[in-house]
Amino acid sequence: MDRLAEIKVKAEGTIFEEFVSSQVENYKRQKQKELKKANINNKWIDHADALFNLFAQISEEVKPQIEPFVARVEFVDNRESDGAVMLTVANFKDETFSLRCADLHTMEDYAKLEDDAFVETLDEAQEEGGVQFFFDPDELVETVAHSRIFKEDDPFAALKQVIEPHLVELLKRTFDIAALLEKKT
């Protein structure tokens, strides 16, 4: 910004002052738009990642509790490929069920950040990321905003409380008492 001021000063009192001044102001506005886009993009990603990490910790804590009742349980991190993580459980019939945690903002939302007019409508301070939990793509069970969890003294406990009913539902979908008895004998 100091360099921009220097450029304006050099043009002061010359026939180029108005033109240079408008170019400097245009440049500043463009850089501010780019910074706003980047800040919102990073905020969404950072917020979702923080929640993904908590879900991973919760999954690791819950895995040993589920393992006695199922054939297999694993945490799968697909953040890079599809912006989601999941706790996947397989029953003794080799059927798998997952509690999936995906970025609240879709690839389309991130693509919209390339549109200056769209970005101008956003309030950077109000924007936040989050995640959605679902069993199937058409079975959304919970939307969790970053602020809902991280305003609490213990974000881990806060998210755990929110998703525990869904973890119980995951076990219910997988649980097969007859197969479990057969497997244990």
Say if CB 70 and CB 93 are below 8 A apart.
no
Structure tokens at 41: 């993009």
d(CA 90, CA 171) in angstroms, rounded, equals 10
Q: Is the pLDDT of residue 76 over 70?
A: yes
Q: How confident is the model at residue 184 (pLDDT cuts 50, 70, 90)?
A: low
Structure tokens at 173: 């979908």
Q: How confident is the model at residue 179 (pLDDT cuts 50, 70, 90)?
A: confident
d(CA 170, CA 166) in angstroms, rounded, equals 6
Amino acid (1-letter code) at residue 18: E
d(CA 119, CA 113) in angstroms, rounded, equals 6
Position 131 scores a pLDDT of 96
Q: How confident is the model at residue 94 (pLDDT cuts 50, 70, 90)?
A: confident
CA distances (Å), 175 to each of 22, 43, 75, 135, in order? 68, 38, 18, 15
Beta strand segments in 10-164, E:
72-78, 84-90, 96-103, 130-134, 140-145
Amino acid (1-letter code) at residue 96: T
Section 67-80 average pLDDT: 93
**73-81, Cβ contacts within 8 angstroms, sequence gap of 24 or more:** 77/52, 79/49, 79/52
